[in-house]
């Protein structure tokens, strides 16, 4: 069911109703806010070191993958990201926030705020099943 929102604008004279019709500005505003979030972060020396360059995250719209060498670094990065989100009025969806590792992750859960993050063997990113060290094609064909 499509959610409808009505907005009543009122001046000193007349009031009229405005119904949102799938505007094009909202994604642009979100992207600008998200860009500001990442400017607030100091992830120097964090991420995955590839030939001397640190790769900290991949992002497409509101889908973000944060990468780190250690679970401790990942916790530092996610805590900072969560705080930066709050500063601009955004919130991480902790139900969709997962940990995936190419090494064994300690049984001690990683918490961001009050939420313990689940360790998974695979997840779907941008509509594609991701499994480290395994062929992704069989799962995708069956999906």
Return d(Cα 52, Cα 63) in angstroms, integer: 26
- pLDDT of the residue at 82: 92
96 contact partners, CB below 8 Å, separation of at least 6:
none
**Token reading at 61:** 């719209």
pTM beyond cutoff 0.85: no
Q: Is residue 10 part of a domain?
A: no
- Cα–Cα–Cα angle for 27, 33, 39, rounded to 5 degrees: 140
Q: Give phi and psi for 7, each to the nearest 5.
A: -125, 130
Q: Is residue 17 part of a domain?
A: no
pLDDT tens-digit readout, 94-132 = 888 988 887 776 667 788 988 888 888 888 888 888 887
For residue 101, CA distances in Å to 29, 60, 67, 119, 126 come to 32, 21, 10, 8, 18
Q: Is residue 2 part of a domain?
A: no
Q: Is residue 7 part of a domain?
A: no
**Residues 36, 89: contact at Cβ < 8 Å?**
no
Q: Is residue 6 part of a domain?
A: no
- pLDDT of the residue at 88: 82
Q: Is residue 8 part of a domain?
A: no
Q: Is residue 16 part of a domain?
A: no
Range of the domain at 92: 22-105+116-142
- pLDDT of the residue at 19: 53
Low-confidence ranges of the chain (pLDDT < 50): 1-4, 6-12, 15-16, 18
Q: Give phi and psi for 50, each to the nearest 5.
A: -120, 110
- pLDDT of the residue at 54: 94
**What single-letter DSSP state applies at residue 32?**
H
How many domains is the chain built from? Answer: 1
Q: Is residue 77 part of a domain?
A: yes
């Amino acid at each position: 069911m499509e959610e409808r929102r009505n907005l009543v604008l009122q001046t000193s004279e007349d009031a009229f109703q405005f119904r949102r019709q799938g505007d094009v500005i909202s994604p642009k505003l979100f992207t600008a806010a998200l860009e500001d979030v990442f400017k607030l972060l100091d992830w120097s020396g964090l991420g995955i070191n590839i030939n001397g360059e640190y790769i900290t995250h991949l992002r497409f719209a509101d889908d973000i993958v944060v990468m780190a060498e250690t679970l401790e670094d990942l916790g530092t990065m996610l805590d900072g990201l969560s705080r930066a989100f709050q500063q601009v009025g955004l919130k991480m969806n902790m139900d969709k926030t997962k940990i995936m590792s190419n090494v064994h992750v300690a049984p001690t859960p990683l918490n961001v705020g009050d939420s313990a993050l689940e360790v998974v063997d695979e997840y779907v990113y941008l509509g594609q099943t991701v499994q480290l060290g395994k062929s992704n094609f069989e799962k995708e064909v069956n999906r």
